[in-house]
């Protein structure tokens, strides 16, 4: 039986050697795989592999486009520009639309009717209808305002405050309230 054991011993040694060599082969393969994989990793220690940058389609160069400057509202423009370029022409247009004719309309830094203090006054004469004086205490449309009315060829006898409760003065608001005052006195239409 000793003879039979010897060959078994050889087979066992052969199997052990085969297992040992296979485990060594596996270890070698693993080290090769990790070495090959590390070459493909961009942050690895191995610098021999080319680095590939991934470009995102959403990464477009940012261009700074200047915002168009907002134009100042006409009410924020200088006083004389607002009155002469916007208010007076708009008043003329509104009064003409009602079938009336303006003899003259102008802005002067003069004495306010009745009160006599110096301020900016829009003086308007509507042909065969009335005269009105719209006064601004300062060269600012939000300053204290007053209005005086009279029939043609007469002097005004009353001075009334104008737009005193309004927080925001606009071109349309001034025009509508002038027309409202003229209409209230039955000067430009029927109540």
Task: Work out the pLDDT band at 57, boundaries 50, 70, 90.
Answer: low
Q: Residue 191: pLDDT band by 50, 70, 90 thresholds?
A: very low
Quick one: pLDDT at residue 162? Answer: 92
CA separation (Å) from 1 to 7, 11, 148, 165?
10, 16, 143, 127
Q: Which residue has the higher pLDDT, 45 or 129?
A: 129
What pLDDT is stored for residue 171 in this prediction?
93
Give the pair of three-digit tokens for residue 80: 């004389």
Cα distances from 170 to residues 81, 84, 118, 190, in angstroms, run 14, 15, 24, 26
User: CA-CA distance, 127 to 102, in Å (whole number)?
Assistant: 6
pLDDT at 30 > cutoff 70 = no
Return the ∠ at Cα 122 (arms to 118 and 123), rounded to 5°: 100
What is the pLDDT confidence band of residue 51, given thresholds at 50, 70 and 90?
A: low
Which of residues 83 and 36 earns the better pLDDT score? 83
Tens of pLDDT, residue by residue over 68-105, are: 777 778 888 999 999 999 999 999 999 999 889 999 99
Domain ranges of the chain: 1-46, 74-184
pTM of the model: 0.61
| Main-chain dihedrals φ then ψ at residue 93, nearest 5 degrees | -60, -45
Q: Alpha-carbon distance 191 to 186, whole Å?
A: 6
Alpha-carbon 154 to chain mean position: 50
Confidence check: pLDDT of 58 > 90 = no
pLDDT at position 110: 92
Q: Between 157 and 138, whose confidence is greater? A: 138
Q: Tell me which DSSP letter residue 162 carries.
A: -
* 138 and 118 Cβ atoms separated by less than 8 Å: no
At residue 101, the pLDDT reads: 92
Q: What average pLDDT does the chain have? A: 77
Average pLDDT over residues 36-48: 50
Residue 26 φ then ψ, to 5°: -65, -45
Region of 163 on the Ramachandran plot (φ > 0 left; ψ -120 to 50 alpha; else beta): left
The DSSP code for 29 is H
Mean pLDDT of 52-77: 71
State both tokens at 98: 């009602």
Whole-number Å distance between alpha carbons of 42 and 47: 9
Give yes or no for a contact between 131 and 114, defined as CB atoms under 8 angstroms apart.
no
């Amino acid at each position: 039986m000793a003879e039979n054991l010897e060959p078994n011993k050889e087979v066992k040694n052969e199997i052990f050697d085969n297992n040992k060599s296979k485990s060594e082969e596996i270890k070698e393969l693993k080290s090769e795989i990790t070495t090959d994989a590390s070459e493909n990793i961009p942050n690895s220690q191995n610098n021999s592999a080319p680095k590939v940058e991934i470009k995102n389609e959403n990464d477009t160069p940012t261009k700074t486009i200047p915002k168009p400057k907002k134009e100042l509202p006409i009410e924020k423009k200088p006083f004389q520009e607002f009155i002469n370029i916007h208010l007076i022409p708009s008043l003329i247009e509104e009064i003409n639309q009602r079938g009336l004719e303006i003899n003259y309309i102008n802005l002067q830094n003069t004495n306010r009717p009745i009160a006599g203090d110096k301020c900016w006054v829009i003086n308007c004469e509507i042909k065969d209808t009335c005269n009105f004086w719209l006064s601004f205490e300062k060269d600012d449309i939000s300053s204290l305002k007053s209005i005086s009315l009279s029939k043609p060829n007469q002097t005004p006898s009353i001075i009334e405050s104008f737009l005193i409760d309004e927080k925001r003065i606009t071109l349309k608001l001034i025009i509508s309230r002038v027309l409202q005052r003229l209409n209230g006195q039955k000067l430009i239409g029927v109540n």
